[in-house]
Amino acid sequence: MSRLYSYVVVRDYGFAPNPFSGTCTLAACKPKIRAKAQSGDWVIGVGAMSTGRAGNLIYAMKVGEGLTFDQYWRDSRFIVKRPAINGSLKRAYGDNIYHKEAGVWLQADSHHSFVGGRPNGENLRRDVSADRVLVAEEFYYFGDQAVQVPMRARKLGRHDLCRPGRGHIVNIPEALRDEFLHWLTRSYSPGIHGQPANWKGEI
């Protein structure tokens, strides 16, 4: 049975997740989800109370494959997701930022490094604690057009897919998972429906 993972997205820069260039990828943050989610599982990111988007759906992705960071870095499909800090916002927030050389982790100049490209050890350690990148070809990214999840597709008993707080939830009843996916896939077409909310003020 496929599983559904839900967590709160506080910062929405198009970096984690990165919904561009034909795939939605999760290559930074949320190491516990990246370590465990399997092909066929769903990962959803919901709005935070602090941003006024509690109860909203930011994105949903159906995991198609999981790659190591080295595989992701070298795969020709994802070279376009290597960051170009002086490029467009889409390129500046590229998430293909980690690989190893001589057994040592390297962090590209990116959203998770310090200004000027100096490695951010805290981000690096957290991100590579799960050497896994989730890739989805079927995804729904709403960003600044985040949509309200109806209660029938959000709550069942004590379970709430949009529960605020840290960490993530995964022990979601099959009936609630199915109701959520039924609502999502029949209400919206896959793809990008908005731009990252935190891009406002950067453009």
CA distances from 203 to 11, 21, 51, 86, 112 (A): 16, 20, 19, 13, 20
pLDDT digits (tens, 9 = 90+) for 72-104: 999 999 999 999 999 999 999 999 999 999 999
CA distances from 114 to 103, 120, 174, 198 (A): 22, 6, 42, 18
**Residue 1 pLDDT level (bands cut at 50, 70, 90):** confident
Is the model's pLDDT at 202 over the cut of 60?
no
pLDDT digits (tens, 9 = 90+) for 41-65: 999 999 999 888 999 999 999 999 9
CB 82 within 8 A of CB 94: yes
pLDDT digits (tens, 9 = 90+) for 130-181: 999 999 999 999 999 999 999 999 999 999 999 877 789 998 999 999 999 9
Average pLDDT, the chain: 96
Sorted by sequence, the CB contacts under 8 Å of residue 64 that are 6+ apart come out as: 39, 135, 136, 137, 138
**pTM for the predicted model, two decimal places:** 0.95
pLDDT at 155: 96
